[in-house]
Amino acid sequence: MVMADSFNFELVSPERLLLSEKVTEVVIPATEGEMTVMAHHAPTMTTVKPGVVTVKTAGGKTERFAVFGGFADILPDGCTLLAESAVHVDELDRTILENRIDAARAELEGAVDEKKTRIEQFIAELTKLGEIVIPA
């Protein structure tokens, strides 16, 4: 089997650079649906919703990160994911998620129209993320 070409993937949150590595494949939870990025992808920019990013490194390892919304810049030879906040799946626990959901709920109070739908959607996405990542 021929190994797929690798490309540079960077996962950055405002607080730090989480990952910068050669990878062969990255699955990004884009707003318009999940997206698998491989080398030589057409240049794309997309917003990212809360979800799990799965990274297959060139070394054959698979790493998973939970991101809470953000933005991805994809080029044929590289991909940068600017996450609003990101944690390695192993480090994520229920309390972090619940805190976030509670914060969003608090924001929901008094929100109207478009903003309300947006926050509701955000909460739904977070809840789903929790179901995927944390076994009940």
Q: Where are the alpha helices (DSSP H) in the chain?
A: 94-108, 113-133
Q: Does 2 bind other proteins (CB under 8 A)?
A: no
Binding pattern for the stretch 102-131 against other proteins, x by CB under 8 A and - elsewhere:
------------------------------
Give the residue from 50, 48, 49, 46 showing the smallest Cα distance to 75: 46
Contact present, 48 and 70 (Cβ < 8 Å): yes
Q: Does 75 bind other proteins (CB under 8 A)?
A: yes
Q: Does 10 bind other proteins (CB under 8 A)?
A: yes
Q: Which residues inside 83-102 make contact with other proteins, applying CB under 8 A?
A: 84-85
Tokens of 85: 């906040």
Binding site for other proteins (CB under 8 A): 10, 12-17, 30-32, 42-47, 71, 73, 75, 80, 82, 84-85
